[in-house]
Structure 1
Amino acid sequence: MKIGVMGTGAVGGYYGAMLARAGVPVVFIGRPAQVAALRDEGLRLQAQSFDERFPVQASTDASALADCALVLCCVKSGDTESAGTQMAPHLPSHAVVLSLQNGVDNAARLAARLSPSNQVAAAVVYVAAEMMAPDHVRHHGRGELVLARWAAQGSQPSPEAVQALFTQAGVAVELAQDVDAALWSKLVLNCAYNALSAISRLPYGQLVQGDGVLPLMRDIVAECVAVAQASGVTLADPWPAVQRIAATMPGQFSSTAQDLMRGKPSEIDHLNGFIVRRGQALGVPTPVNRALHVLVRLLESAPGNSRTS
């Protein structure tokens, strides 16, 4: 099974590298400078138990996905429609696309741009990784996936086959009975940590030690749970999982923090911003999430950030 990775950031780089390291043929689709680096130097994965560099295939053109049975879509949530449009003319009819993205609606947004013959499934990603250079991914911790099930048609890869492939590569995959609840649970974690890490420029372990931070995070979580319930999604108490993030990823900066520190637009519109919009539509107040969304957008609009250029 040949695998395509659409969007070679920290998430795409990590999972693509783990698959390639296991001998699975992988092609990475990325920006010109990154593709040039990958072709010249290969991809370095600096993990907790190994530090290796290996040659990989890379292209700037989605046509390189033409013989891929499985594609990992790892672009930022704001680029979902664009990625779908780029992939649509080139995917074989039996290809399965996994959305390894933050947020709860990316799989549906991708499916709207792809052929009905292409199966699109959501995956919930729990990994702490960082792009140190265009050809260098550093893994800080975790790495498991929660994957939606689908009914494979014809020669499409089945969920069990994809699970086995990742297991072979050392990536734990759970096949979820209720992926919507899993997606919302991850969204709660993102809303609790991402904006605060970005505003403070602190990693999770230091962030939670700040005066008043944990009560504030409880307020964020309470708003998210209320919006989820109004949306028809019942969540188990997310607070223990929120606390575990700081314990298991103490040195991790949120992806929003990493984006702002690099002068790039973040996914905040699809995290706290999504909660605000959804809450407004359902009549659920979300003042804390609204404040965080506004503050991160203000930081994004500071001189030198690419959102303003």
Structure 2
Amino acid sequence: MRILCLGAGALGGYFGGRLAQAGADVSFLVRPGRAAQLAAEGLVIESPFGHARLPIRTLTQAEPGFDIVLLTCKAYDLDGAIEAIRPAMGPGTAVLPVLNGLAHIARLQREFGPEQVLGGLAKIQATLTPAGVVKQLNDWRWLTFGELDGSASPRTQALASLAARAEGMAAEAVPDIMARMWEKLVHLGTSALGTVLMRANTGEIARAPGGVALMHRLLERNAAIAAANGHPVRPGFIEDFRRLFADPAGAYAASMLRDLEAGGRIEADHILGFLLEAARAAGVPHELHEAGYIHAKAYEQRRDAGRLPALQP
């Protein structure tokens, strides 16, 4: 099995690097500057599960002949990512996206065909340092994927077998990937809406009057949206996140809040806009979703106009 990773950053560099370390045939599609850095230094991973410096194969333009394309871009880069991987998408090639949310699935199916798109999600906290090091920040290392029709296919089983040999990686091929992706969206959408609206982490919100009730209300509404789309979340999942959002000592914040506070680009349409439209379609009260989406889009307007306050040193 030949695997192409789009990028060698936090996600692609970590998961693709671990697969390559285990002996898988992995190539990385990267920009020329990153290709030169990787040629000189190798792919460097710092992790609680073992550090690595790996010689890897890089491409600056995609080529045919791959079985799986691992798509790890941000949602706002999806258009460019599709064009970048298009030459690699042969008749038997599957794209495995691990983007946040769900909106990208229909887009990829339109571009490449329903049979060539897998479902996937990643749970990892990692970053690419200015020196080009892929640094894993905690023990999260999960990659979950599957066929969107729920079948157990040779390609997903082959990828799971490769990943089982990889150090510092826990991968699983599942028959219910759409349900898993909806669960992640319920969690992510609640976290993003709450922490972006309040400009605070979950513990700070919990310590504010009415903060726990607000987060629980968002969680319940997002769970109702998932149920209306045929994917009710598990009761244990809801209870876990009710506890997380009620913890006054918690320090969890969505990556969208971190990106916003750093003055960066955010996935407003892909996460908040998608949930707002889904709430309207499901008849779920959506005033908080609307407020969160408008808040994020107004931030984008201010950012584009160059009117963000100067970041503190």
TM-score (norm 1): 0.82
**1:28-67, aligned counterparts within 5 Å?**
28-63=28-63, 66-67=64-65
Superposed CA offset, 1:185-214 (max 9, x none) = 000111122354456676666665665443
Partner amino acid, structure 2, of 1:284: V
Q: Pick one of 144, 154, 159 that aligns with 2:156.
A: 159
- Asked whether the 8 Å contact 1:103–1:270 carries over to 2, the reply is yes
Structure 1 residue 296 and structure 2 residue 296: aligned? yes
Partner amino acid, structure 1, of 2:85: M
TM-score (norm 2): 0.81
Partner amino acid, structure 2, of 1:165: L
Corresponding position of 2:180: 182
CA distance in structure 1 between the aligned counterparts of 2:141 and 2:274, rounded to whole angstroms: 25
- Asked whether the 8 Å contact 2:193–2:289 carries over to 1, the reply is no
CA distance in structure 1 between the aligned counterparts of 2:184 and 2:204, rounded to whole angstroms: 21
**1:177-256, aligned counterparts within 5 Å?**
177-197=175-195, 212-237=210-235, 238-241=238-241, 243=243, 254-256=254-256
Superposed CA offset, 1:37-67 (max 9, x none) = 223322221212323322222333223xx23
Distance 1:17-1:228 versus aligned 2 partners, 3 A rule: same
Corresponding position of 2:99: 101
CA distance in structure 2 between the aligned counterparts of 1:221 and 1:38, rounded to whole angstroms: 42
Corresponding position of 2:121: 124
**Cα offset for 1:126?**
1.5
Distance 1:19-1:223 versus aligned 2 partners, 3 A rule: same
- Asked whether the 8 Å contact 1:2–1:68 carries over to 2, the reply is yes
**Cα offset for 1:263?**
3.4
Superposed CA offset, 1:251-272 (max 9, x none) = 7653323433553321122112
**Cα offset for 1:162?**
0.9
For structure 2, the 5+ residue unaligned runs are: 309-313
CA distance in structure 2 between the aligned counterparts of 1:20 and 1:300, rounded to whole angstroms: 38
SS in 2 for 1:98: strand
**Cα offset for 1:4?**
0.7
The worse-fitting range, judged by mean Cα deviation, of 181-190 and 296-305 is 296-305
**1:60-75, aligned counterparts within 5 Å?**
60-63=60-63, 66-75=64-73
Partner amino acid, structure 2, of 1:166: A
SS in 1 for 2:100: coil
Structure 1 residue 110 and structure 2 residue 132: aligned? no
Superposed CA offset, 1:59-82 (max 9, x none) = 33223xx23221101111233344
The worse-fitting range, judged by mean Cα deviation, of 289-298 and 273-282 is 289-298
CA distance in structure 2 between the aligned counterparts of 1:174 and 1:215, rounded to whole angstroms: 35
Distance 1:72-1:279 versus aligned 2 partners, 3 A rule: same
The worse-fitting range, judged by mean Cα deviation, of 224-233 and 180-189 is 224-233
Corresponding position of 2:132: 135
SS in 2 for 1:301: helix
- Asked whether the 8 Å contact 1:125–1:144 carries over to 2, the reply is yes
For structure 1, the 5+ residue unaligned runs are: none
Indicate the structure (1 or 2) with the bigger Cα radius of gyration: 2
Q: How many residues align?
A: 301
**Cα offset for 1:306?**
8.7
- Asked whether the 8 Å contact 2:75–2:99 carries over to 1, the reply is yes
**Cα offset for 1:128?**
1.6
CA distance in structure 2 between the aligned counterparts of 1:273 and 1:148, rounded to whole angstroms: 26
- Asked whether the 8 Å contact 1:195–1:292 carries over to 2, the reply is yes
Corresponding position of 2:311: none
- In angstroms, what is the RMSD of aligned CA positions? 3.3
Q: Identity over aligned residues, as a percent?
A: 28
CA distance in structure 1 between the aligned counterparts of 2:11 and 2:123, rounded to whole angstroms: 10
The worse-fitting range, judged by mean Cα deviation, of 163-172 and 27-36 is 27-36
Distance 1:150-1:103 versus aligned 2 partners, 3 A rule: closer
Distance 1:40-1:227 versus aligned 2 partners, 3 A rule: same
